[in-house]
Structure 1
Amino acid sequence: MEKRMSMLLFPVILIGSPIKINFKKVLTYYSILFTCLLVVLLIRFLVIEPELVSKYLKGIHLWEMGYSFANSTGVHAPALNMHVAFLVVVNTYLAIRYLIESSWKILNYRTLLFLISVFLLLIINTRLAVANAFIGIFLVLFLELFKKVSRKKLVTVTASTLAVLILMVFAFAKAFPYITKKYTTVTFAHMDKVGKLDDFENPEGEVFNSFVTRVSIWKTAWERAQQDIWIGVGAADGKDELNQAYLDTDQQFLAKYKFPTHNQYLDFLLKFGLLGLLAVLLYVLNILWLGWRLQHSVVLFFFVLFFTSNLTDDFLIRYDGITFSALWISIFSALFIKNDCSTSQSIEKSS
């Protein structure tokens, strides 16, 4: 109940307030404060974990520092990187807005904030968040520039942004070669071992956080969910039933660590059946509807981010995922209802 109170409080406060939302100002304050907070937390991490930083700089256990940095903030790495991916896209949007307005002095520091947020994203380096951020950058570029600048300027800005991102990723990969390996051979390694993780001599060391482990969990959750497809097993019994399914299918490694579903759609299907799956889809698709009506690139990206993030994790059973989505959906809804607008032009006028 404590986790889900934000789904009541944020709508009451934000939608119920008579004050109109200045969306550009909200994004401006959010981007500055969050970027500065992350920089402070990174500096703190460099001080308290010098050994991990030293190993990272030497190319040893590169995955470890990102997860350790996230844990030092009190947030799970995939959840933190979901936030950072959104921050990257917000910084992109604001930089593009000031570019269109030819506010060059503001654009300079906006570009700096954008580069810092991309650097932080690569430090934590969860694969889905990086992919989402890059999709979001070009979604914002296209939607914001397409109707407002000439085709020549659109191509120039897009090509310049792409060149900067390629240069940053190339420099990062050159300094830390494991990145290339992570995004090629490591991600899809051992896919022939789905459901057979006990065949590894040391699954903890070889596949604990790997994609094949996630797929094995999803396969087991899907098979168990089909047995109670209409009404599910119930919220209280979902985790226990999944753990029992690991034992019933003789997957001792998964049973030992009692892995959750790591997929919000499968989690609700297992717990509540088809109605549960429909409910979570409606919750997420509501963001798409708001983005479509508002015709706003940031809102549309938020849908892409939250929809895909819940394919590899279960953020609607986590406090950070619940509050993150409830806050921004409430802001988007208040923007739509109070400003009585359905186009990006009217949003800009209200800002």
Structure 2
Amino acid sequence: MRSIFLTDPEGLQIPVKEKGLYALFAGFMISFFLPGMPVVNNILFGLLFVYSFLFNTHGEKGWLLRRRLAVAGMIVFFLLQVLSVLYSSNKKEGLEMVVLRLPMLMFPIAIGTIRIGDLLKKRLMALWVMVMLLAAVVTFICSMVVVIRTGESSWFYNDSLTVAIGWQSSYFAILLTVTLYMFVYLIESGAWPFSRAISFVIGAFFLVFHFLLASRMNIILLYSSIFLYALYGMVLKRKYKLGLYIMSGLVLGALMLVLLFPKTINRFRELGYRQFDYSSRGVESHYDMEVKPDQWNGANIRLAVWQCGWELVQKHPVLGTGIGDKMDELMEAYKMNGFVMGVETRRNLHNTYLDVLVATGFTGLILFLLAWIILPLLYCLKSRDWLGACIIVALAFGCITETYIDRSQGNYMLGFLITFIVSCRRQDQ
């Protein structure tokens, strides 16, 4: 634990200004999971933002900004959001959305214009893993208390599992996927401060918790990553025994989880019922109920929403509807198609790329892809930062089924993780 508090011999060598940054990151990370305390989170984020201007000189910030076109692109993308308010009829909604997305401007300005060295990077990642572990343990205990009190095991699944910290399960699941990547990287690099036995317990808990979150995209993403990691070890590193152990463990672990927690499989059964009727008033399926063809479910709702969204893209292909009119025009598209369920629940687009495309057209989508996905990924590949590349790919996949930028948590998550990866770029050290 000494390494977490930077009191070990190596940690004591970290400069004071970097320790200050570490302390502010710690406060921000913890506040990220405090339910009903957005003011605390915003204050700590504000302090982190201000401190970033004391961390290095304005000259160095300008130099880094010129070298990191991705960061400049992030700022331009945000300015496009502001511009889109001007051609939106619903200016009030537009301004509210701009405020919601402020982290996607402030993180690039703050974190995207500093340099984080290898030692501090690893310490921050270890801290992140510990904060995620704490959040998962607390919410698991809270769910256990409710299960004991009510006898309802459904509190161990999906959104019910993360309600104690005020997080949607799919958002926490993508963070946990990223955390597991960091966890493996820290162990491989020898930077993880705990013993093998403790690490095994932590890893097992993370995997079980991840499965209980019942996020289809993240389960597919994580288990595919484990398979590819085993394949990488066998083919490129010739660690055949280790690779076979990992693959065998993956299969046996998945089977055990399915047998112990069968409700998660309901989320995958929904994929067999992709047909939809806009006018249907069927109930929305849930992991705790039998899946039937006349229900709305996570799969067919998204297909219905995406079709309506694409109709708006065809009407406003270049600059979009404007960020202020996006939801108003989407509701009109729902009404035109007789999508009663979509109107009643005010469904968002459930796709970050489509959301950007509808609101700001192909202009916005190209900017978003370049600044937030493609250029940061190229930086990672050029510097052989495979962990950073994996995190960006995971977030890019997550954007397919969730509109991260429509929620405060999603904006903080994308803004923090991607600019953190960019700030660790080796070519800038």
Aligned pair partner of 1:235 in 319, 323, 328: 323
CA contact (8 A) 1:87 1:117 kept: no
1:89 to 181, 205, 209: 181
Q: Look up the match of 1:346.
A: none
Report the counterpart of residue 260 of structure 2 in structure 1. 175
List gaps (5 residues or longer) in structure 1.
341-351
1:192 aligns with 2:275: yes
Instruction: Determine whether 1:161 maps to 2:161.
Output: no
1:206-245 equivalent positions in 2, closer than 5 A: 207-245=295-333
Q: Is structure 2 residue 388 aligned with structure 1 residue 289?
A: no
Correspondence for 1:247: 335
| CA apart distance, 1:96 | 3.2
CA distance 1:15–1:253, change in 2 (3 Å)? closer
Number of aligned residue pairs: 323
Deviations 1:153-204 (A, max 9, x none): 2x22222122222222211211233344542x32231x232xx143354457
Percent identity over the alignment is 17
Cα deviation code 1:121-149 (max 9, x no counterpart): 011111101111123334455567866x4
* Aligned 8 A contact 1:243 1:258 in 2: yes
- The 5 Å alignment of 1:298-317 reads 298-317=387-406
1:118 is aligned, of 188, 195, 207, to 207
After TM superposition, the structure 1 stretch with the greater mean CA deviation from structure 2, 158-167 or 301-310, is 158-167
Whole-angstrom CA distance in 1 between matches of 2:261 and 2:101: 40
CA shift, 1:94, in A, is: 2.5
* Cα drift, residue 67 of structure 1: 1.1
In structure 2, what is the Cα distance between the partners aligned to 1:216 and 1:160?
42
Q: In 1, distance between residues paired with 2:105 and 2:308?
A: 34
The alpha carbon displacement at 1:318 in A equals 1.9
Structure 1 CA distance for aligned equivalents of residues 383 and 227 of structure 2: 19
Q: Distance in 1 between matches of 2:349 and 2:399?
A: 10
1:279-332 C-alpha deviation (Å, 9 max, x unpaired): 221122233212212312221111221111111111123221221122122222
Distance (whole Å) between structure 2 residues aligned to residue 3 and residue 312 of structure 1: 20
Give the TM-score normalised by the residue count of structure 2: 0.68
Stretch of structure 1 that moved more, 123-132 or 164-173: 164-173
Does the 8 Å contact 2:313/2:361 carry over to 1?
Answer: yes
Which residue in 2 is equivalent to 1:46? 144
TM-score between the two structures when normalised by the length of structure 1: 0.82
- Quick check: 1:290–1:299 contact (8 Å CA) kept in 2? no
1:273-288 matches, within 5 Å, as 273-282=361-370, 283-288=372-377
CA contact (8 A) 1:132 1:304 kept: no
Cα distance change on mapping 1:142 and 1:332 into 2, 3 Å: farther
Residue of structure 1 in register with 2:134 after alignment:
36
**Equivalent residue for 1:3, pick from 100, 110, 122:** 100
Once the two structures are superposed, what CA deviation does each residue of 1:248-287 show, in whole Å capped at 9, x if it has no partner?
1112121121211111111111111110221221122233
Q: 2: CA distance between counterparts of 1:45 and 1:267?
A: 33
AA partner of residue 30 (structure 1): W
Pairwise CA RMSD of aligned residues?
A: 2.8
Provide the rounded CA distance (Å) in 2 between the counterparts of 1:38 and 1:201. 34
Alpha-carbon distance, 1:7 to partner: 3.3
Give the structure with the larger helix fraction.
Answer: 1
What is the distance in 2 between the residues matched to 1:299 and 1:174? Answer: 34
Task: Output the amino acid matched with 1:88.
Answer: L
| Structure 2 CA distance for aligned equivalents of residues 157 and 178 of structure 1 | 31
- Which residue is equivalent to 2:359? 271
Note the C-alpha offset of 1:209: 4.0
Aligned to 1:72: 164
